[in-house]
Amino acid sequence: MKYLNAFIVLFCLMESCQFKQKSMNSEQTEEDSYQSVYHFTTPSNWMNDPNGMVYYAGEFHLFYQHFPDSNVWGPMHWGHAVSEDMIHWEHLPIALYPDSLGFIFSGSAVVDYDNTTGFGSELNPAMVSIFTYSNQQEELKGSITFQNQALAYSLDSGRTWTKYADNPVISNPGIKDFRDPKVTWMEEFDKWVMVLAVKDHVSIYSSKNLLEWTHESDFGKEEGAHGGVWECPDLFRIQDDQGNWKWVMLVSINPGGYQGGSGTQYFVGEFDGRVFSTNQEKVKWIDYGADNYAGVLWNNIPDSDGRKLFVGWMSNWAYANKVSLVNRRNMMTIPREVSLRRKENDHVLAMVPIREMESIGVLSTSGALTELEKGMQTNEAYRLDVQIESMEGTVELVFTNEDKDSLFLSVSNNELIVDRSGCGNVSLATIFSRQHKASLDGIRNLSIFLDRSSMEVFANDGEVNITDLFFTRSPLQRVQMVASEADIQARFEYRKIEVEEPI
């Protein structure tokens, strides 16, 4: 479906981009070498925010912002894929298309097991998507009420969708940025709860049936980072490592992220069914790299699993339309398991790769970390795990290729740094070549996941993470340790990562 209009043409001219029609059978280009080995990506063309993440009948559903007619942002659809393990994905037809009410912007999906909507039945519950309509025609006319919340439902496990006849279910109250509903059934309050991004804060709504909504409260006008528009919120209850229950709110922001461009902050606090509150004084970020944005949690994970499962968009709005991917632009992060840990009088949100990643990593070699001083040949997709017994000074891992591109990772007891400034094409944006730093309170371990054009670093069991893209002239297939005047006792394990079926 083509849905180009003056707004999109103007946008792309401003980005110095040219629409190029692509098909599923486009010829491979040299830049396809950047495509992921083990990260989720669309079959073709543009992708951004993960949407509608829900588990049902043995399948993880991942919808996503998608423009099927170009590899730059355009009229938004919901792409769709399903998986049994969040690694091997089956791509399905587009779920939601733009229509006279607007583009299909970000949102969420739930399974209405109690048939509160009346769309399904107890034997065949409806899968319901809650999304933002963004009406480009109204926006071009100068209206500020062009974003509204709407529903669609499916009775066949998300394969086909019917839009609710009485959309929108929440009309815009007069706010330009009014979008990205994340909805969850909260058993403790016996109602659906929605968190909605509203310009520079979050509005909380509730409903008994997903059709009629009550505005309960607002959060964030005086809390958190405010360097840009708030987007893609999530609110969930989680037990910390000492058995205490807390509430966590995720909020993405663009611009104003920690490393420039877009980023995601989080708040730890309390929620009574109407009001979310926090005593948190400083801004907290889920990631200290530049390329983890708009992530939220899967809904309806069964109690027998019990995990909080997250995935984010691996890019940054400062350069997303320019990254060096042609046939398919942009990827998702590794899916991550979320936990909450008590640190003195504070909490830290930790994220680690899902355990299913263990099934695609083949142990190739291991040994004392000092054995890497002479360097080691690697594959183009792998994980490197480092267990640190003791360390004084600074250790640097250098990832290089035959073209002398270099990606640097530096770690001490006080700081973790990823430096991609010498790593091929860094001209995409001013912020691209910045060092990405995170403070550490000691260092216990590192897990480094490298793919053809991305690095994800998890330090201290995921308490500090750095996610970064890079675009080298050839694969980074050598790693070397530099430990000048450092004293370190540590071991490493190197695992090649292979996926039998295309993602």
By annotation, the residues acting in catalysis are 49
Residue 255 tokens read as 């611009």
Q: Given the structure tokens 């919120």, which residue do they identify?
A: 233
Query: Does residue 127 contact residue 154 with C-beta atoms inside 8 Å?
Result: yes
Compute the half-sphere exposure of residue 305: CA atoms within 13 Å on the CB side of its CA: 18
Pairing between β-strand 45-56 and β-strand 328-329 as defined by DSSP bridges: parallel
Query: Does residue 333 contact residue 292 with C-beta atoms inside 8 Å?
Result: yes
**Edge-to-edge order in the sheet of strand 103-112:** 103-112, 126-134, 147-154, 162-163
Q: Name 282's Cβ contacts closer than 8 Å, sequence gap at least 6.
A: none
- The end-to-end CA distance of the chain, in Å, is 24
Query: Does residue 136 contact residue 168 with C-beta atoms inside 8 Å?
Result: no
Got the DSSP string for 444-483?
A: -EEEEEEETTEEEEEETTTTEEEEEE-B-SS---EEEEE-
- The whole-angstrom separation of Cα 288 and Cα 284 is 10
Query: Does residue 332 contact residue 298 with C-beta atoms inside 8 Å?
Result: no
Cross-strand pairs, 494: 365, 384
